Each structure stands twice: as C-alpha cells, then as structure tokens.
Structure 1
Amino acid sequence: MPPPAALTKFLSARSDDSHAKRERRKEARPGELLAAALDLFVEKGFAATRSEEVAARAGVSKGTLFLYFPSKEELFKAVVRENISGRFQEWNDEFESFEGDSAEMLRYCLKVWWDRLGAGKASGITKLVISEARNFPDIAAFYQQEVIGPGKDLIRRMLQRGIDRGEFHVADLDYAIYSLIAPMIFLIMMKHSLGACAPQGFQLEPERYIAAQIETLLHGFCKRPGDDRAVGAPA
C-alpha cells in the first residue's frame, strides 16, 4: 500500500532539507578547516602542527582535509592567502582612493593594519615564518612572494606619494621602507612571543606605541622650533 500523499510530501521535504544542510556544510568546510589550521599554526608552529589535528579540530576526517588541501604546505599557503595576502587588493584600493595628505596616510595605514590584522590571530603567522623560515625554505619563499614583496611595494608607493607631493624628504627610499616595517614586526613579536619575557607589570599599549612610532618617523627626535612640550610627554 503506497504511503499517503501527505507523508510522501513530508518525507521528501525532510530529504531535501537534509540534502541542503549537507551542501551548506560542504561549502563551509574549507573555511572551517582554514580557521582550525590558523589556530594550530599560531599555537604550535608549522613543524609541530599535524594534519590530523587540523582535521579533528574542524570536526572532519583527515581524508576530508586532503580533499580540499592535498598537503600541509598547501593548507598553510591557503591560510596565508585567506588571512593576509588576499587583502592586498583591498589595501591597494584604499591607497588609490585616499584623499588626505601623506602623513595622514601613514597614520591611517599603521592604525588600520593593526586593527584589521596585527591585533588578530593571523599576525602570528609572521612570527611563525620568522621562527621556522630556515627549516622550511619553501614556506619562506612563498611568504616572500605573497606577503613581503607586495607589502614593500605598497609602502614604497605611500612614501613615493609623499615625495611626489613635496610632503616627504626620504634620503634612501629602499631602506626607508623598513622604517615602517620594523616597528610593526616588533609589535607582532611582543604579542606572540617576546611579551612573555617582558618585565612583570609591563604592558605595551599598541595604539600608543604606533602613535609614538609615527611621530618619530615623521619628526625624529630633534626638537623643533616652537615645540615647548615637556620632555617625554605624549604627543
């Protein structure tokens, strides 16, 4: 005896709903795997992170992980692209549309970089690369191509903008780029590593630190005529 039409319709709807949920779950898996991988890479480093740990944290089998990412190296590259290098188009677009002067641009750039990337877990990838680059030269080369190179190019464009507009005097553009990179690397290392060695009671305030670095980059340590601020007073 065939089931009543209402029951058939109910069973069909449940089947369709179950199928839709499986499809949504399948579409979400790459993001879940990348989030789990980011957590583990930052917590344990590249060498110590095992693929099966990533799969377990994402709630899937190791075989499922390899369906999306055939090796741990490919998984790492996908994490970098998802969280860091994939954002360079956004940052370059903001450079093109920025309307303030070049000093304002540098202030905005470092603040936004910290808010969007540095303050989050993804900045720990930089510490990982610094720590393990010599043991994994392929990863170092990938990071150089995907992150360091484009980052230097963007900073160069910002400084060149200031030079072209008569707002900056830069004696050596090639090395001035590192004057912006180095303070941010220090901030990352304090967050993910060196902070554990800081004296008891010491707390580095990122916003205040960035503001101090920008003022030093723009004005140096030399006192300017008419600058009557107390020595050591915050800007």
Structure 2
Amino acid sequence: MGRNQEQNQLQRDAQRTKILSSALGLFVSRGFAATRIVDIAAQAGVSSGLLYHYFRSKDDLLAALLAESLPKMDAAARGLEALEAPVADKIRLALRTLVRGIQENAETGKHHLLVALVSASKALPDPAREIIERHARGPYRVMERLFATGQQEGTVRDGDPRDMAMLFWALVKGLSIHHAVHGDALGAPDPDFILPLFLK
C-alpha cells in the first residue's frame, strides 16, 4: 500500500471512529430511539451522506458499537480463564485491569451503559440482539467457573459461584457507568478494597 493509500486509510479509520464515538455519546444521552442519523452526523462534524458511506443505518451503527465491546470482553474473559495461574491471581488481575480500564478510557462506561440500555429494550434491532445474545453472558460464565475452581483451591470465599459472578460483573459495570456519569469527581475504589468480597 502506497503512502497516499495509507494516509487515506488512516483518515477513513479516524472518521469512522469519530462517527462511532458521536453515536455512542448520543445513544446513551438521548436514547437509541430518539437519536437521528442527522444528529450523529452533526455531532461528528460530517454530512449525513458521508455518514451513510460508512454505515447504512442507525441499526448498523448500534451493531458496530456492540461489536466493538461485547466480543472483546468475551474474548478477554476466555483469555483470562486460559492463563496458567492460580484462580486468585486471575481474579486479582481481572479486577485491577477492569478498574484501570474504566479510569483510563472515558468511553468504557458509555459502552456498559449502552449495553444496559439496549438490553432492556423490546425494540432492539435483530443484528444488535444477536451480538448481545452471542457474547453478553460469556464473561459471566467464565467468572462462575473461576469462582467454583477457586473454591476447590481454597482461595475463594464460600457462596454460589453463579451469584458471585453476577455480583462481580454488577460491581464492575456499576463502577463503569458511575464513571461515565460522574467522571473522576467522586473518585474510584481501590480494587484491593473489593477483592475481599471474593477472596479469602
């Protein structure tokens, strides 16, 4: 690929990222149904025609946003499970990595908020629903298996591993959404403060 082609591709990638970021912000602040393509284009500083060059519809934009976050989280959870390490170390690593990601990336919380909002919708477009159904529960199952194994190892507290997985992700997503709404104004807990909820 020549230099001009590389520059053009970089510009296209940057434009696509800007459109997705604008859509994400509007979907979580106004709601998916209330957001129009023209609103997203205006927020991104592009024409509606140019936006349609990247995405055929608002449904496609939503699916692209979900495809950016949920499969990555699913894959990261499976990667964590596959690590050759004691379960307690995996849980520490997961929590510290997730909390750091929330604090360092302002859009992380918006992605969690978007998933929560659209998952509760009965009018979710089919492509978006398929992504949620395929990937949203994977990380819960991974943590459930890790907690069960950790209990066998004697490092994880007693309790129903499924309930513990739900609590783990409820805490992470709650912190993420909290950060999306309030930023750093109210601070963030140290992951080591949360770990005793799960580890002995």
TM above 0.5, yes or no, is yes
Aligned to 1:205: 187
Query: Partner letter of residue 107 of structure 1?
Result: R
Picking from 134, 148, 151, the partner of 2:139 is: 151
Aligned pair 1:116/2:101, yes or no?
A: yes
- CA separation of 1:64 and 1:86: change in aligned 2, threshold 3 A: farther
- CA separation of 1:87 and 1:127: change in aligned 2, threshold 3 A: closer
Kindly provide the CA deviation profile for residues 20-54 of structure 1, in whole angstroms up to 9, marking residues without a partner as x. Answer: 65454335433332222223334433233221222
- Unpaired segments of 5 or more residues in structure 1? 1-15, 197-202, 220-235
Deviation for aligned residue 1:147: 4.5
Picking from 27, 30, 35, the partner of 2:16 is: 30
Query: Partner letter of residue 133 of structure 2?
Result: Q
Kindly provide the CA deviation profile for residues 184-225 of structure 1, in whole angstroms up to 9, marking residues without a partner as x. Answer: 2332343244x59xxxxxx643233x3322113324xxxxxx
In structure 1, distance between residues paired with 2:76 and 2:120: 31
Deviation for aligned residue 1:158: 2.0
Aligned to 1:217: 198
Indicate the structure (1 or 2) with the bigger Cα radius of gyration: 1
Aligned to 1:182: 170
Deviation for aligned residue 1:180: 0.9
- CA separation of 1:55 and 1:136: change in aligned 2, threshold 3 A: farther
In structure 1, distance between residues paired with 2:160 and 2:172: 20
Segment drifting more, 84-93 vs 17-26: 17-26
Q: Give 3-state SS (helix, strand or coil) of 2:136's partner.
A: helix
Picking from 154, 175, 191, the partner of 2:179 is: 191
Work out which structure has the larger RCO, using CA pairs closer than 8 Å and 6 or more positions apart in sequence. 2
Aligned pair 1:127/2:109, yes or no?
A: no
Aligned pair 1:167/2:152, yes or no?
A: no
In structure 2, distance between residues paired with 1:20 and 1:95: 37
Contact kept in structure 2, 1:103 and 1:218, CA below 8 Å: yes
Deviation for aligned residue 1:78: 0.7
In structure 1, distance between residues paired with 2:172 and 2:97: 12
- CA separation of 1:206 and 1:85: change in aligned 2, threshold 3 A: farther
Aligned pair 1:53/2:42, yes or no?
A: no
Query: What number of residue pairs does the alignment pair up?
Result: 195
Q: CA RMSD in A?
A: 3.2
Aligned pair 1:103/2:84, yes or no?
A: no
In structure 2, distance between residues paired with 1:34 and 1:174: 34
Kindly provide the CA deviation profile for residues 62-117 of structure 1, in whole angstroms up to 9, marking residues without a partner as x. Answer: 12322332221221121122234334324422432252x32232122111112224
- Unpaired segments of 5 or more residues in structure 2? none
Query: Partner letter of residue 150 of structure 1?
Result: G
In structure 2, distance between residues paired with 1:122 and 1:84: 11
Query: Partner letter of residue 189 of structure 2?
Result: E
